Amino acid sequence: MREIIIGGGQLGAIQKSESRAKVVQRMLALLEQAREQGCELVVFPELALTTFFPRWYMEDQDEVDTWFEREMPSDVTRPLFDFSREHGIAISFGYAELTPEGHHYNTSILTDRQGQIIGKYRKVHLPGHVEFDTERDFQHLEKRYFEPGDLGFPTWETQDTVMGMCICNDRRWPETYRVMGLQGVELVLLGYNTPSINSQRQSEGEEHRLFHSQLCMQAGAYQNATWVVGVAKAGIEDGFPLMGGSVIVDPNGFVVAKAEGQGDELIVHACDMDLCNFGKTTIFDFARHRRIEHYGIITRQTGVQRP
Ligand code: CDT
């Protein structure tokens, strides 16, 4: 048995006016709960340190850059890394990254149990749009503020487990999980900020959105025989609702832990990484069963070409 006690640190709403320092205090409170429950790894949401700023249209790049982190750890986030080291709890969380070369990414990092960053992922599937869209009930400007990630979907061996990360919209794409699956991933960590309503189709409400979110994570877990930990930033941010629904999904696709509310909430499960072995050596033994001679279109072609 290779057990890791994993916490999903769902965050409730973060208002536009709220400081990073205050959010870090909330994350530390969740980490303290996680410590009491014996967690060895805690996963936080996408863009965990601030409100979901891509809902706000901005033209001034200096203003945009105020939402980005130029270093990690920074003075304000260092207490998270200190807590990780002092208590032997690895952490993963998302933030907006501004590199020294001036690139903007929607990023997640993973530490080891000594608080050292051992993995970085930059979001590949950026949803939304570039310009202000008058047809939408609210904006989703990730394509304006971020560049697509340039690191692919790497995996890392840590805590005797192959781990990978993806971010929010990535969870809807089977390619995300399969690229990591082909590197033997046993634990996929992901955070999200998902509006409770579709800005282009009001009839698509929260129940519908929660269903799609969970459907994707359960499918990704089952089809790659991997654990998936999906963690929301939820609640109403300056009048705009984000859904909750944080889950831990086992390698059979079953949900084994689920958040109940839309506030700060820790979900916990003792995850045995050896549960991945059966699927990986039978129905999803890729080496024996995949037929790559028929999959070329997946990397040759982006959009649909009808017959
Ligand atoms: N943050 C993020 O990626 N949210 C998207 C919303 C899609 S609608 C533009 C998601 O897939 O949940």
Catalytic-role residue among 39, 40, 97, 123:
123
Structural domains in the chain, CATH included, are 3-300 (3.60.110.10)
Give me ligand 1 centre to Cα 140, in Å.
8
Assess contact for 215 and 196: CB atoms under 8 A: no
pLDDT value for 4: 98
- Closest C-alpha to 47, from 95, 113, 79: 95
- Tokens representing 273 are 């990484």
pLDDT value for 200: 86
Assess contact for 228 and 261: CB atoms under 8 A: no
Q: How far from chain centre, in Å, is Cα 27? A: 16
Catalytic-role residue among 39, 40, 46, 280:
46
Assess contact for 57 and 141: CB atoms under 8 A: yes
Which residue CA neighbors atom 1 of ligand 1 most closely? 193
pLDDT value for 113: 98
pTM here is 0.97
Contacts 24+ apart (CB under 8 A), 21-27: 21/76, 23/48, 23/49, 23/50, 24/49, 24/76, 24/77, 24/79, 24/80, 26/264, 27/80, 27/93
Predicted confidence (pLDDT) per residue in 158-217, tens digit = 999 999 999 999 999 999 999 999 999 999 999 999 999 888 888 888 999 999 999 999
Report the C-alpha gap between 74 and 160 in whole angstroms: 28
* Ranges in the chain, pLDDT < 70: none
Instruction: Give yes or no: 123 in active site.
Output: yes
Give the pocket of ligand 1 (CB within 6 Å): 46, 127-128, 140, 168-169, 172, 192-194
Report the C-alpha gap between 74 and 70 in whole angstroms: 8
Assess contact for 57 and 132: CB atoms under 8 A: yes
